[in-house]
Amino acid sequence: MSYVIVAFYHFFDFPNFEAMQAPLLERLHSLGIKGSLLITREGVNSTISGTRDAIDAFLDYLQNDLIGAKITYKESYAEFQPFGKARVRLKKETISLGEPVSMKRFGQYVEPKDWNNLIRGNDVVILDTRNDYEVNLGTFKGAVDPSIPTFKYLPQWVRDNADSLKGKKIATFCTGGIRCEKFTSWMIDNGFDDVYHLKGGILQYFEDVPAEETLWDGECFVFDERIAVDHSLKPSKSAALCLYCDHALTVEDQAHPHYVKGVSCPHCHGDPAYQHDRPSTNPRRGRIKF
């Protein structure tokens, strides 16, 4: 059986979101869909997987009965179910930056077909807004990696590096686009006007830009059992996940002497934040739950 993995987000007024948690979970179960659906007062953010018919039925329900508008989504495929269960989570924000954001003005959208021309410019800072463990598997050539553990660290990174950003075009990107919706709004709120973001994110770029024209280097981390996808949106055959610290691991990471499956990896070995004091026969699954 081939599974359809669909990723989407949509900002809309959703005042009764808490009351919809149980009905939405029941609908996912009835369709045999697994994955995560995050719901908030400001909208939804989700990656789910199921059969073609099930995904089509759920998207039809969302667009026609719940939201009342078309949503933009990205599809990929796998020969296995990449999620262990269905979850509907309640959150205060669709994605939290940790600081107030007006969400009134946003960066200029850049279609994937136009992205290469933009980031080739000499006056452009290409900023990867994803977490450090995601960037480890791949990013755009020439992109700046702020080395942040979570999205909430990005505003302070901008303040610390403001001098190198001023007077530049700032081209931001993330996996599916939702981070950049909020982040570019925050950037404009804080005095950065020449801000851009990749419409639909990396996944849309993979879908729209031929592999022979790609400026992407490596694979793209995804939050499910595939761990990563390549430019053809096919599941990675080489990436792994450290089951202690949840860092995504390249082939080189897995060949490193500090990588012991289920125990440690080059990114957490020797880090005082992690106590690797248990025997290798007692591995612990990391924080990420698929």
Which residue type sits at 89?
R
Please say if 174 is a catalytic residue: yes
Residues 6+ apart with CB under 8 A from 231: 206, 211, 214, 216
Asked whether the beta carbons of 184 and 192 are under 8 A apart, the reply is no
Q: Say if CB 34 and CB 28 are below 8 A apart.
A: yes
Query: 């995904």: which residue's tokens?
Result: 55
Question: Of the listed 174, 180, 242, 268, which one is catalytic?
Answer: 174
Q: Residues with catalytic annotation?
A: 174
